[in-house]
Amino acid sequence: MYYQLALVFVCAALGAWVSIPAVIRLAREKGLLDYPDVRKTHFIQTPTLGGVGIFIGFILSFTIFSTYDTNGHQLLGIIAAVIFLFFTGTKDDLVPLPPLKKLLAQLFAICLATFKGNVWLHGLYGLWGIDALPPVLAYTLTFFVYVVIINAVNLIDGINGLAGSLVFIGTLYLGFWFTLHDVQYLAVISFAVSGSVLAFLYFNFRTQAQVFMGDTGSLVLGFLLAVLCIGFIEHAHQQQVYSPGVAPAMAMAVLAVPLIDTVRVFIIRVMNKRSPFSGDRNHLHHSLLNAGFSHLQASGFLLVFQLLVLSSVSFLPDNAMHIHLYALIFWGIVLHLLLASLEKRHRLLIRQQSAASQQKTKHQKASSQPPAA
C-alpha cells in the first residue's frame, strides 16, 4: 500500500509539473491573464488557470491508482463533483460568474458528493455534547460545512504560495492519517491532491509567481479538502480513534488558517456594518502585507502558524472535553492580536520615518538659504 501511495504522489506531481508550463504558454498567447487592481496584491499581468494543471495531475493519478471494488459508488460521485467544479472554475476564470451562480454550482457538486458519493456528516460526534442529528439537520450541516470550506480556501488564495501550501500541508497530514488507519480510497485522493499541489507550488511559491491557481484550482481544492475532512471525521468516529468531540476539532485544526481568516473577515465586516460577503483587504495576508511583510514572508508566516496549530492540537490529551476546540479559539485570538500589533508597529515606524524625513528636508532647506545681510 505504501509503495502504491508513493506512486500516487509522484504521478500527480509529474502530471501537474508537465502540464502547467503548457497552461502558462496558452494563457499568455490567448491573453488569459489576471490584471492588477486596487484589491489585488500583484502588480503585473499574471497567467491564471494554474488550477487546470492541478486538475490534470490529480485526475491522472486518481484514475490510474484508485480501486473501484469496494468504494466505486462513492468515488464516482466524488469525481463527478470534481469535474463539474473544474468546468465551473474554468468558466469563472475566463468569464467571471455572478456569485449566485457560483454558489448554485457548489451546491450541485455538494449534492453529488453527499447523495452519490455518500460523504456527509451524520452529526456532531460529541461536539458540544451532540452526537447524531435528524437527517434534515445532518444534511443541512453537511452542506454548510462544504460551502464554508470551499469558500475559505477561495478567500485565502490571495498571495503567492499561500493557498497551495496550506492545502499541501492539510492533505499530506490527512493522507498519512488515512494510510495509518487503512482508508485507502481517501488516502489516494489525499496524496493525489498533495502531489499535484506541490508541483503547482514550484511555479507559484516565488517572488514573482509564474501562474495563479484561479477559481479553477481553489474550487476543486476546497471541495476535495472538504471531502477529506468530512471523511476523516466519519472514519475517526467509526474506528473510535478519538474521544467524543475531538475528530471535528482535529478537522478544524487541519483548516485552521483558512477558517480563522474567514471568521475574522466576516466579524470585521459585520462590525463595520457591511455585508459579510463583500470584498475588502482585511484578510490575514493583507494584514501581514500592511505590516511590511513580502508575499513570501507572509505565506511563510501563515504556513508556520498552521503547522504550529496542527502540531500543538494533535498532541493535546483527548480526555478533556472540548480542549481541542478551546485551543483553536485560543490560537485564533492570538493570531488576530499578533497581526494587529504588527500592523500598529509598522504604521508607527512609517510615521517616525516620515517625520524624520520631513525634519531632514527642513534642515536641508534652512542650511541652503543664504545668511541674512
Chain segment 313-331, per-residue pLDDT in tens: 999 998 887 999 999 999 9
Number of compact structural domains in the chain: 1
Query: pLDDT tens for residues 81-94?
Result: 999 999 999 999 99
Provide the residue range defining the domain that includes 128. 2-243
Q: Between 158 and 41, name the one with better pLDDT.
A: 158
Residue 41 has pLDDT above 60, yes or no: no
Q: Is residue 191, in this structure, part of any structural domain at all? A: yes
In a domain, 124, yes or no: yes
Residue 369's pLDDT is 66
Q: How confident is the model at residue 371 (pLDDT cuts 50, 70, 90)?
A: low
Residue 366 lies in a domain: no
What is the average pLDDT across 94-103?
A: 94
213 domain-assigned: yes
What is residue 44's predicted lDDT score, i.e. its pLDDT? Answer: 76
Residue 310 lies inside a defined structural domain of this protein: no
Query: Does residue 184 lie within any of the structural domains?
Result: yes
Is the residue at 140 inside a domain?
A: yes
As a three-state string, the secondary structure of the chain is CHHHHHHHHHHHHHHHHHHHHHHHHHHHHHCCEECCCCCCCCCCCEECCHHHHHHHHHHHHHHHHCCCCCCHHHHHHHHHHHHHHHHHHHHHHHCCCCHHHHHHHHHHHHHHHHHHCCCCCCEEEEECCEEECCHHHHHHHHHHHHHHHHHHHHHHCCCCCHHHHHHHHHHHHHHHHHHHCCCHHHHHHHHHHHHHHHHHHHHHCCCCCCCCCHHHHHHHHHHHHHHHHHHHHHHHHHCCCCCCCHHHHHHHHHCHHHHHHHHHHHHHHHHCCCCCCCCCCCCHHHHHHHCCCCHHHHHHHHHHHHHHHHHHHHCCCCCCCCHHHHHHHHHHHHHHHHHHHHHHHHHHHHHHHHHHHHHHHHHHHHHHCCCCC
Q: What pLDDT, on the 0 to 100 scale, is given for residue 280?
A: 84
Looking at 34-48, 213-227, 291-305, 356-370, which range is the least confident one? 34-48
Q: Given pLDDT bands bounded at 50, 70 and 90, which one contains residue 39? A: low
**What predicted TM-score, i.e. pTM, was given to this entire model?**
0.94
The verdict on residue 26 lying in a domain is yes
**pLDDT tens string 334-361:** 999 999 999 999 999 999 888 888 887 7
Spatial separation of the C-alpha atoms in residues 22 and 30, rounded to whole Å: 12
pLDDT at residue 223, as a whole number: 98
